[in-house]
Amino acid sequence: MLQLGPLKLNAYGAMIALGVVAAVWLSGRRLEKRGAGTREDMSAIALWGVPAGVIGGRLYHVITDWELFSGHPERIIQIWKGGLGIWGGIFLGVIVGIWEGRRRGISTAVLLTCVAPALPLAQSIGRWGNWFNQELFGRPTTLPWGLEVSEFHTRQAGFPVGTLFHPTFLYESLACLALCGMLLLLDKVVKRASSAQNKDLAEVRTAVALTPEQESRLAAALEKATGKKVNLKVVVDPSVLGGVVATVGDSVIDGSVRTRLDQVKSRL
């Protein structure tokens, strides 16, 4: 228990709450940066998704460890003693979160992209609740970071008092934190690549210097020449021209398509 004046907080629940707060902050920040919603939207989604995730996680734990609850149904609601299955929490929490997001006009793909790194961040923080509850430790070890648990838990695990154990909760916490960092880094790499491509497309269009009417006529002519739909205003798709053999930025086009393109441009 954590005593804050007259308020008593269960440490396990407090770590879960901290994880939720961090996840909502990160995903809300990402949602605003994409211009797809506000932090208030993400908070509203969390108001539905988090309770659903807790219920899903508890149900998953009860179902997969039924022997702990068989004959003791009152233990099912004693969530403060620990016992949440992450997969059940993610499954139900994400489904309900998507439902609320769609009600607010937020794309499912964008919402999941914003939430993706926030989930392992929440798990990384929440796992420390297992340390307070002295659970989810591994096999005995002599490593310097071995975890010492109470005499009761040591004997219950079948080992002599003083035995050190692998802090498996810590391993998972660090792994989840690393996963969060990798997803954030990957997101930045993808954004930079997308920005570079958009810059190249803008430079190509500026060099051509076509008016909207000429651009439309060029697209129509290319469609007739290639037999495929062309939309110059949105994207240059290699599959559209069929002759692009390098990146758009390099503007490498095979001879036959380049000849047709030059012929069409000369008539504009």
Closest CA to 13 of 157, 179, 126: 126
Q: Helices 86-103 and 108-115 sit at what angle, rounded to 10 degrees?
A: 140
Closest CA to 115 of 195, 49, 196, 35: 49
Place of tokens 């340390």: 131
Q: Could you list the pLDDT tens digit for every one of the 268 residues in the chain?
A: 555 555 556 777 788 889 999 999 999 999 999 888 999 999 999 999 989 988 998 888 888 888 888 888 888 887 766 677 878 888 999 999 999 999 999 999 999 999 999 999 998 998 888 888 787 788 899 999 888 888 888 888 888 888 899 998 889 999 999 999 999 999 988 888 776 655 554 444 444 445 667 667 766 766 676 666 655 543 344 443 333 322 223 333 344 444 445 544 454 4
Neighbours of 149 (CB within 10 A): 20
Q: Find the Cα–Cα–Cα–Cα dihedral 202, 203, 208, 213, rounded to 10°.
A: 10
Residue 123 CB burial class (10 angstroms; 0-12, 13-18, ≥19): buried
- For every residue of 212-225, DSSP letters joined together read HHHHHHHHHHHHHH
Closest CA to 90 of 137, 50, 62: 50
Q: What DSSP element (H or E) covers 7?
A: strand 7-9
Q: Find the Cα–Cα–Cα–Cα dihedral 21, 24, 28, 30, rounded to 10°.
A: 100
Residues 6+ apart with CB under 8 A from 158: none
- State the pTM of this model: 0.62
Structure tokens at 101: 């997001």
The alpha helices in the chain, defined as continuous H runs, are: 11-33, 39-64, 86-103, 108-115, 118-126, 129-133, 151-156, 168-208, 212-226, 238-241, 255-266
Q: Find the Cα–Cα–Cα–Cα dihedral 219, 225, 227, 232, rounded to 10°.
A: -20
pLDDT for residue 38: 92
